[in-house]
Structure 1
Amino acid sequence: MDESRTCRSHEAMVKTQLSIRVGAAIRQARKQRGLVMRHIAEHNDTDVAAVGNWETGRNLPKTENLLKTAAFL
Structure 2
Amino acid sequence: MIFFKKKSMLLVFVFWSALTLNAFGKKIQVLATVDRTQITLEDSIQLSVTIKGTQNTPPPELPSLPNFRITSGGTSSSTQI
With a CA cutoff of 8 Å and minimum separation of 6, indicate the structure with the bigger relative contact order: 1
Higher strand proportion (structure 1 or 2): 2
Is TM > 0.5 for Structure 1 vs Structure 2? no
Q: TM-score when scaled to structure 1?
A: 0.44
Q: TM-score when scaled to structure 2?
A: 0.40
Higher helix proportion (structure 1 or 2): 1
